[in-house]
């Protein structure tokens, strides 16, 4: 039994050590987000389901981006809405597409509908940018995406920030999680030439690439499925560190639990369908970026594996904790490392105190992974209620980081 236990611990340690090594490449920025003369034409797509409380602030924000107005249009796909989302979006100047389909429900289907509708209009867009209805967007977002597109990148993910970080201990923990992920995961992957992770919002997709390969994403994690499909075609997700999107985070543990459970359902479903293909294609093409992509896909399984080992620790207490000082040093060294990440992102001092909540929140991922795996075949979309109607000009009151709206020259 001990051989099996310590063997499992070894594999878990190797897996997490791999991602620790990758995180070291987030200590610097290899590439800058260049602001180049505006040349790309954008279709901005907002997927919305009963978002009347927040849609107006986003559309107003999008209409005021620091990019030539003749080079972008704002579309809202009101998906099975039963409130005033469509009317409010139209009132603020967006082009509204209403969709009613009680069988094929969810964001993936809504985006498929929106993309096809936009392409049929015959407008020569270069890229589509996707946002959620509860978002706020930095003024320089399109200017930065224009620079990435002109460099030849096909899929670009913007920096996912939090618009309501101060609200509860859950939003504070999620804020910490996203800041660290952006720095030590996304930026690191981009520096190494690996594919970054799509976040479902703040995404910029080349129209030429979309038309060639199609969208067709209908899982609960359409972003993960699309990035995996793109990687199989040797198209990497790139990273725009200065193009910020401010997302509303769940206020309570239960809301966050339901949202993350949906992510784990979708993640394990996508992993089951694609991880074998990625490994085989990586071997065939000798492409390590595909190995890295496959390593990310199996993350929920290692979370569950970690949970089982923690339970094993309880039953093998004498053997595992005969050197308690090592465990103490390991625990506190994580806080130092996380603190370095916050320092690199220049967050305010109050955010460092929020690290005290973060380990508790992180532990809740373990049961979420088990439940998500058990429900992986359930594709029923669980909507997250959004109520924080915050205006872009008031963002500085709600987040501890710097509002970077660097203007295009």
CATH of the domain at 280: 3.90.550.10
Average pLDDT over residues 90-107: 91
Q: How far is CA 248 from the centre of its chain?
A: 13
> pLDDT at residue 246 above 90?
yes
pLDDT of residue 409: 27
- pTM confidence score: 0.89
Q: Within 345-393, where are the H helices?
A: 350-353, 358-363, 365-374
Please say whether the beta carbons of 241 and 185 come within 8 A: no
Please say whether the beta carbons of 297 and 278 come within 8 A: yes
pLDDT of residue 189: 97
pLDDT of residue 408: 33
- State both tokens at 211: 């038309």
> pLDDT at residue 330 above 90?
no
pLDDT of residue 137: 96
What are 339-371's pLDDT values in tens digits? Answer: 999 999 999 888 999 998 898 999 999 999 999
pLDDT of residue 218: 74
Tell me, yes or no, whether 109 lies in a domain.
yes
CA distance 287 to 128: 28
pLDDT of residue 104: 85
What length is written for the chain? Answer: 409
Band (256; pLDDT cuts 50, 70, 90): very high
> pLDDT at residue 166 above 80?
yes
Higher pLDDT, 261 or 219: 261
Average pLDDT over residues 140-166: 96
Tell me, yes or no, whether 406 lies in a domain.
no
pLDDT of residue 14: 87
Please say whether the beta carbons of 46 and 55 come within 8 A: yes
pLDDT of residue 406: 45
Tally of domains within the chain? 1
pLDDT of residue 326: 55
CA distance 313 to 329: 18
Tell me, yes or no, whether 409 lies in a domain.
no
Average pLDDT over residues 258-284: 92
Radius of gyration of the chain (CA): 21
- DSSP tally for the chain: helices H, then strands E: 17, 8
Tell which residue, 108, 149, 25, 62, has the closest CA to residue 381: 108
Instruction: Decide: helix, strand or coil at residue 303.
Output: helix
In 191-336 the beta strands, taken as DSSP E runs, fall at 203-206, 237-247
What percent of the chain is predicted at pLDDT more than 70?
A: 86
Average pLDDT over residues 41-54: 95
Domain residues for 222? 1-378
Tell me, yes or no, whether 302 lies in a domain.
yes
Please state which of the ranges 202-206, 277-281, 323-327 shows the lowest mean pLDDT: 323-327
Tell me, yes or no, whether 408 lies in a domain.
no
Tell which residue, 41, 71, 34, has the closest CA to residue 208: 41
Please state which of the ranges 30-44, 141-155, 167-181 shows the lowest mean pLDDT: 30-44
Tell me, yes or no, whether 71 lies in a domain.
yes
Burial class (CB in 10 A: 0-12, 13-18, 19+), 386: buried
CA distance 335 to 355: 7
CA distance 325 to 336: 17
> pLDDT at residue 125 above 90?
yes
Please say whether the beta carbons of 204 and 145 come within 8 A: yes
Average pLDDT over residues 76-89: 95
Q: At what angle do helices 169-181 and 253-285 cross, to 10 degrees?
A: 20
Average pLDDT over residues 132-138: 95
Tell me, yes or no, whether 394 lies in a domain.
no
What percent of the chain is predicted at pLDDT more than 90?
A: 66
pLDDT of residue 407: 37
> pLDDT at residue 327 above 70?
no
> pLDDT at residue 26 above 80?
yes
Band (222; pLDDT cuts 50, 70, 90): confident
What are 273-282's pLDDT values in tens digits? Answer: 999 999 999 9
Tell me, yes or no, whether 392 lies in a domain.
no
Average pLDDT over residues 251-276: 92
**What average pLDDT does the structure give for the chain?**
87
């Amino acid at each position: 039994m001990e051989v099996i236990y310590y063997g499992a611990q070894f594999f878990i340690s190797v897996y997490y050590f791999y991602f620790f090594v990758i995180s070291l490449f987030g200590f610097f920025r290899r590439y800058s987000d260049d602001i180049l003369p505006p040349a790309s034409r954008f279709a901005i797509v907002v997927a919305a389901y009963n978002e009347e409380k927040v849609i107006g602030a986003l559309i107003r924000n999008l209409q005021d981006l620091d990019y030539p107005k003749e080079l972008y249009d704002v579309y809202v796909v009101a998906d099975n809405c039963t409130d005033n989302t469509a009317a409010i979006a139209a009132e603020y100047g967006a082009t509204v597409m209403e969709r009613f389909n009680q069988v094929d429900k969810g964001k993936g289907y809504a985006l498929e509908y929106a993309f096809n509708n936009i392409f049929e209009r015959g407008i020569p867009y270069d890229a589509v940018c996707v946002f959620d209805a509860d978002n706020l967007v930095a003024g320089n977002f399109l200017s930065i995406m224009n620079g990435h597109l002109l460099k030849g990148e096909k899929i670009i993910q913007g920096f996912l920030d939090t618009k309501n970080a101060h609200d509860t201990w859950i939003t504070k923990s999620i804020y910490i999680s996203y800041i660290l992920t952006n720095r030590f995961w996304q930026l690191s992957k981009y520096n190494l030439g690996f594919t970054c992770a799509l976040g479902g919002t703040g995404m910029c997709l080349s129209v030429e690439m979309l038309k060639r390969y199609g969208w067709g994403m209908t899982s609960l994690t359409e972003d993960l499925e699309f990035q995996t499909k793109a990687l199989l075609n040797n198209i990497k997700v790139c990273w725009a560190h200065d193009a910020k999107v401010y997302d509303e985070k769940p206020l309570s543990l239960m809301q966050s639990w339901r949202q993350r459970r949906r992510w784990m359902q979708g993640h394990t479903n996508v992993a089951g369908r694609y991880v074998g293909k990625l490994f085989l294609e990586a071997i065939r093409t000798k492409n390590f970026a595909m190995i890295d992509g496959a390593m990310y896909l199996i993350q929920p399984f290692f979370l569950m594996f970690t949970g089982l080992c923690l339970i094993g620790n309880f039953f093998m207490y004498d053997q595992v904790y005969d050197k308690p000082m090592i465990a103490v040093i390991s625990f506190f060294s994580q806080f130092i490392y996380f603190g370095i990440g916050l320092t690199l992102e220049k967050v305010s001092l109050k955010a460092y105190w929020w690290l005290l909540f973060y380990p508790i929140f992180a532990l809740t991922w373990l049961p979420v992974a088990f439940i998500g795996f058990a429900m992986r075949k359930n594709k029923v979309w669980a909507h997250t209620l959004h109520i924080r109607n915050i205006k872009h000009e008031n963002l500085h009151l709600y987040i501890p980081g710097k509002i970077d709206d660097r203007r295009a020259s």
